[in-house]
Structure 1
C-alpha cells in the first residue's frame, strides 16, 4: 500500500512538480503562484476581499518590476516605493499596506513547505528571495497610522458641520427637489456616527432592528442600545459584534433617528425593508462612496479642513467622552477597541478642556491649603 504525501494548501501543483514543460513557462508559474497564495490564505480563513486586495498589490508590483518574483530585488522594492511616495503621494497607511502584502507573498514563496524555491531553481536557475526587511520598509509602531492632520473636530467645528448639513436639507427642499431626502439621510448618518462613535461601515449597515431599549435608561425609548453587527474584523475573523449604550450627553441624537425613521425614511423605503439607510432605489444600503460624497459636500460647504474626514466624527466621540469623565475601559468597550492604547490614539483633548483641568487642579490645591490653615488655627 503506497503512502500519500501530504501537501499544504498553496503548495506547487502536481502538474508543475513533475517537471513537464509548458508553454510560456514563466507566466504559467507566475499564475500558479498567485493561485497557490490565494489557496493558502483561504485555508487561513481570510476573507475573499482581503485576498483579492493583496493579490492586486502583488500584480501591481509585478507590472512595475517587469519581471517575475524569482527576479525581484531589494533595489526594485526601493524604486517602487520611492515612486509611490514621492511621485504619487501615497499615504503612509497605503505604503504600509502594500509592503505588508508583498512581504507576506514573498514569505509564502520562500517557505520550503510550499516548494516554490526548489521549483524556480530547477526551471529558471534562480529562486524568490525576501526583499522586504526592517531597513527598507515602514514600521507599524502603533495601532493607528495616519496623517498628523487626522484629528477630532472641535465642538465649534461639529456645530458648524451639523448646522451646514441641516441648512443643506432646507435649501434643497425649498428648491422643490427630491434631493432633500438623500441630504437628510446624510445629515442624520453624520449625527448617528458621532453620537454613538461609529465607523463609516458600521453606521452604513445599521438596520431598524439594531436599535433596542435599555431598561436602565428608559428615557431613550427604543434607542437606548445600538447593536453593531458590522464591526471591524480581525484577521481571518468575521465582522466583530458589539453593543453601544446611548449616554445622556448624546441623547439628542435619539430624536434625530426617530424623525428619520418616522417621517423621512418611509418616503422611499420599500415595504418590508429593514435597512436603516436604504439607497435611493430602496434595494440596498447606501453605498460607501455615495455616503462619502455627501459628507464631503457638507464639509466643504462648512469650510472645514480637508484632513477632517468622516472618521474624525468617531475621534470626536472618544475625545468628548474622555472630557466628560467617562471611564476609559467603558469608552474602549463602546468603540470596540481591543486595546486601550488604540483608544488613547483617538483622543485629542481641546484647549478648553486642558485649561479646565489645570484650573480645577489649582482650585483643589488652594482649597487644600485653606483647609490646612483652618485646621492649624
Structure 2
C-alpha cells in the first residue's frame, strides 16, 4: 500500500521538513493524533476515542517511557497497580483497557501507518506489541459485572418507590423548595423501571417519544416509548427501538399523564422538548440521574452497591417471571443477542418455586393417571 495515505499515517501527522527540539514527546503526541484520526475514520464516538487516548497517556506516564521502549513487563506492572489498593478496577474494566492498549500497539506497529519505521529512524528502536495472551486478562466468564449489580427483590423495589414518594411528601410538609423536582424524580425512577431504559436513554427522552399503541388504545399516548438514543456499538449511530407498555406495569400510565399534563408545565420550560426537565429549564443530566438514585436508595436503606442500572436488571427479570418470551424481552431492552439478555436475568426464588410446584403437580397427575389406568 505504498503511496496510499490511510487515516493516521505518519506523513499526514508529522511534517517532513520540520524537526522537533524534543523529538520523543513530539513523536508520542503525533502517534496519539494519528491514532485518534484513524478511529475517527471508523466513526467511533468522541468519548470512546478520548478515553482510549487518555489510557495510553496514563500508561506512558506510569512507566515513564514511550511506545518504542515499552515491554510486556510494563503491562504487568501497570495493571497490577490498577487491581490493587483501596479501589481496584473491575475485571471487565481491566480487560477493556488491555484491549484498548493492544489496539494502540497494533496501530503503531502496522507498516501501513509508518510509525515503526519513523521511530526506528529517529530513536533506533521501534514499538512492538506488548499485550499478549499470557500477560492480559482472559474473557472466561459470561458476566463480568460487579456482583453487587443485581436485580432488586420485590420488597426492595417497593421500599425504593415508597422512599421516593415519601421524599415528596416530606419536602411538601416542611414547606421547603424542591417539591416539583422530587415529584419528577419519583416518576422518573418508576419510568426507568417500567420501561427498562438505560441511563442515557432515559435522559434523552423527549415528549414526542411517548407513543400510541393501536393494540393498547386504553393507554392513550403512553402505549409505547420510542427510544432514539440506544446504546451504539462499533461506531454505529445510536440504536433505536420501541418499548411497549406491558399490562403488568401499566400503573406508570397515570403517573406519566400526571407528570406531562400537570407537573412538567410548572417548570415553565417553554418549548423545550425534553421529557425530564430541570428547575433551570434544561434536560436532566446523567450525573443527576445517578445522584437521585443514590439519594432514594439511601432513604430506603438499600445496599450501597446497587446502581441505577439495577432497575433495568429488575425489569428484565420481572418480564421473564411474568412469562414473556425471551425474544420479546430481548426486543424490549434492545439487546442484539439473546445471550446478553440472559446475563442480566436474575429469576427470583418465588418464580422458580412456582415452576417447581407446577412440575411436581404435573408429575403427580401423570402418576395418578397411570395408577387409575392400571386399576382398570
Instruction: Measure, in 2, the Cα distance between the counterparts of 1:92 and 1:258.
Output: 42
How has the CA–CA distance of structure 1 residues 14 and 156 changed in structure 2, closer, same or farther, with 3 Å as cutoff? closer
User: Could you say if the C-alpha distance between residues 201 and 16 of structure 1 is closer, same or farther in structure 2, counting changes exceeding 3 Å?
Assistant: closer
**Cα contact 1:243–1:334 (8 A) shared by 2:** yes
Task: Check the 8 A contact 1:224/1:246 in 2, yes or no.
Answer: yes
Counterpart of 2:52 (choices 45, 51, 54) is: 54
> What SS does the aligned partner of 1:230 have?
strand
Preserved contact between residue 17 and residue 119 of structure 1 (Cα < 8 Å): no
CA deviations 1:38-80 (Å, max 9, x no partner) are 1100111112121111111111111111111111111111111
Cα 1:142–1:266 change in 2 (3 A) is farther
For residues 21-44 of structure 1, the C-alpha deviation after alignment (integer angstroms, 9 at most, x for no partner) is 321111111111011001100111
**Within 1, Cα distance between the matches of 2:25 and 2:196?**
48
Partner residue in 2 for 1:25 = 23
Provide the aligned C-alpha RMSD in A. Answer: 1.6
Distance 1:131 1:175 in 2: 61
Q: 1:148 to 1:130 in 2, by over 3 A?
A: same
Unaligned runs of 5+ in 1: none
**How far did residue 135 of structure 1 move?**
1.7
The CA deviation at 1:19 is 7.6
Q: Normalising by the residue count of structure 1, what TM-score does the alignment of the two structures yield? A: 0.95
The alpha carbon displacement at 1:372 in A equals 2.9
Please tell me whether residue 310 in structure 1 is matched to residue 308 in structure 2: yes
Aligned counterpart, 1:374: 372
Q: Deviations over 1:291-332 (max 9, x none)?
A: 111110110111111222111111111111111110110100
Change (3 A) 1:220 1:231: same
CA distance in 1 between counterparts of 2:127 and 2:293 reads 45
| Distance change >3 Å, CA 328–CA 298, structure 1 → 2 | same
Partner of 2:38 in structure 1? 40
Helix, strand or coil at the partner of 1:134: coil
Q: Secondary structure at the match of 2:49?
A: helix
Aligned to 1:99: 98
Which string of whole-angstrom CA distances, capped at 9 and with x for unpartnered residues, describes residues 234-281 of structure 1?
Answer: 111111000011110010011111111122111114111221011220
Distance 1:308 1:16, change over 3 A: closer
Q: Alignment partner of 1:114: what SS?
A: coil
Pair 368,102 (structure 1): closer, same or farther in 2 beyond 3 Å: same
Residue pair 2:36, 2:49 contacting (<8 A) in 1 also: yes
Aligned pairs (5 A) from 1:105-254: 105-141=104-140, 144-254=143-253
C-alpha separation between the residues in 2 aligned to 1:131 and 1:153? 42
CA distance in structure 1 between the partners assigned to 2:124 and 2:370 by the alignment? 85
Partner of 1:6: 4
Taking the aligned partners of 2:211 and 2:273, their CA distance within structure 1 comes to 14
Q: What count of residue pairs does the alignment treat as equivalent?
A: 373
* Structure 2, unpaired ranges of 5+: none
2:84 partner SS: helix
Deviation at 1:17, TM superposition (A): 7.4
| C-alpha deviation, 1:141, in angstroms | 4.3
State the secondary structure of the residue aligned to 2:229: strand
| CA contact 2:68–2:127 (8 Å) conserved in 1 | yes
Structure 2 vs 1, CA of residues 15 and 254 (structure 1 numbering), >3 Å: closer, same or farther? closer
Counterparts of 1:253 and 1:15, CA distance in 2: 54
1:66 alignment counterpart: 64
Decide which moves more: 230-239 or 43-52.
43-52
Matched residues in 1 for 2:29 and 2:262: separation? Answer: 54
Runs of 4+ deviating beyond 6 Å: none
1:366 deviates by 0.8
Structure 1 residue 144: Cα displacement: 4.6
